[in-house]
Amino acid sequence: MYIYNVTSLIDPAILQDWLSWMRDKHLPAVMDTGCFQRFQLVRLLDLDASHGLTFAVQYYAQDRDACDHFANDYEPVLERESQRLWGEKCLSFKTLMEVMH
């Protein structure tokens, strides 16, 4: 099992709109790719929030190929849409993790 993690720093001024967009549009679009079995959206706690609030979305994939397929074939379009909507008010970075039970 692999976790494709996207961590984002969100400007408080867009927080409610960003959360609505994530729940109503972005997360369903990612899941519609068929690359992931499930996801969870979490807020990171105990961080300095003076520059914004930090969230992470963890997408769970059965294998590395699914993560690579998403990163190569779907993510560029989804990332452009996020950049168009939120610009510098949403700063994100990605990490890929392997579950080591």
What confidence category does residue 3 fall into, taking pLDDT thresholds of 50, 70 and 90?
A: very high
Predicted local distance difference test score (pLDDT) of residue 48: 77
Percent of all residues in the chain with a pLDDT value above 70, rounded to a whole number:
100
Q: Which residue from 8, 6, 5 is spatially nearest to 51, judged by alpha carbons?
A: 8
**Separation of alpha carbons 54 and 56, rounded Å:** 7
CATH class held by domain 2-98: alpha beta
**pTM of the predicted model as reported, rounded to 2 decimal places:** 0.92
Tokens of 21: 């967009």
The tens digit of pLDDT for each residue in 47-90 reads 777 788 999 999 999 999 999 999 999 999 999 999 999 999 99
Angle 71-7-23 from CA coordinates, rounded to 5° = 85
**Separation of alpha carbons 38 and 40, rounded Å:** 7
What confidence category does residue 5 fall into, taking pLDDT thresholds of 50, 70 and 90?
A: very high
**Separation of alpha carbons 9 and 37, rounded Å:** 25
What confidence category does residue 1 fall into, taking pLDDT thresholds of 50, 70 and 90?
A: very high
Tokens of 42: 């979490």
